[in-house]
Amino acid sequence: MEGYGVDEAVIALKLKDASNWWHDINESTLWQDRIFHILAALYGLVAAVALVQLIRIQLRVPEYGWTTQKVFHFLNFLVNGVRGLVFVFRRDVQNLHPEIVQHILLDMPSLAFFTTYALLVLFWAEIYYQPILKQARAVSTDGLRPSFFTINAVVYTIQIGMWLILWWKYIPVLVVLSKVFFAGVSLFAALGFLLYGGRLFLMLQRFPVESKGRRKKLQEVGYVTTICFLCFLVRCIMMCFNAFDKAADLDVLNHPVLNLIYYLLVEILPSSLVLFILRKLPPKRGITQYHPIR
């Protein structure tokens, strides 16, 4: 019994040390700056990769203009670049007044991130319905792009409306509603990837996989669907905690470790993996028919 008590005391001491370690890093100005600068550097790296890929695609097929693929990489560059700048000046952002300006600078890249990957869902939906269109002329993809723009317009309008109200009068409940809204948007995006990514994956499985290119496309859709679904699902869960638990608040300086974990899981790592998976350049003109996303 005495030995058992000693073991419990050792475990309790280790848990206390772990808690102190977390608290010490969060309260250290030096570690706060280090972690936020690490995040800024990682975002800058992802933005640079997206920009380089955009330039390579433009040099390969300049005659196609702004294809879905080019827009996707440009938005990735924009989102990660802005997020990186926010973390470079994170301490200055925290001191901005009125407080709503802080929320706008921290949340606007999240809206743009949603738009970036919703574009990928749109592209997959268009691919999914193309074979059906050939067999049944009654099915049309004409409504997909207007739906994409409408959904984004509604999301941005609601969020900007809440920001304007908060600018006029700071209402704590509205701040919570704004975070819950972000959680709902993230869940919607996760379900979009699950629906159309899953459908496209199953459709590709029904085709012969004798060619290496078709097998790669099947793997590409499967990997990207899984990554993006988990990414937006984790964002949804974390935003719910962020809304109702002060200890999980991502908008303050004294939670750098939580910020590091959150942004690594929901933006940096998913963006890096997706950019790597979609790194293939389109074929040169005259070699084969070019599909804008390739």
What is the C-alpha separation between 218 and 118, in angstroms, rounded?
A: 20
Look at residue 171 and tell me if it is in a domain: yes
Residues 56, 58, 60: CA angle, nearest 5 degrees: 70
pLDDT tens-digit series, residues 128-184? 887 654 454 445 566 788 999 999 999 999 999 999 998 998 888 998 999 999 999
Sort 13 into a burial class: Cβ within 10 Å, 0-12 / 13-18 / 19+.
Answer: exposed
Q: Is residue 174 part of a domain?
A: yes
pLDDT of 47-87, one tens digit each? 999 999 999 998 888 877 888 889 999 999 999 999 999 99
Neighbours of 111 (CB within 10 A): 18
CATH number at residue 270: 1.20.1070
Q: Which residues contact 157 (CB under 8 A, 6 or more apart)?
A: none
Q: Residue 91: give the domain boundaries.
A: 2-278
CA angle 125–71–56, rounded 5-degree value: 120
Q: Is residue 288 part of a domain?
A: no
User: Is 287 a domain residue?
Assistant: no
Tally of domains in the chain? 1
Name the average pLDDT for the chain: 83
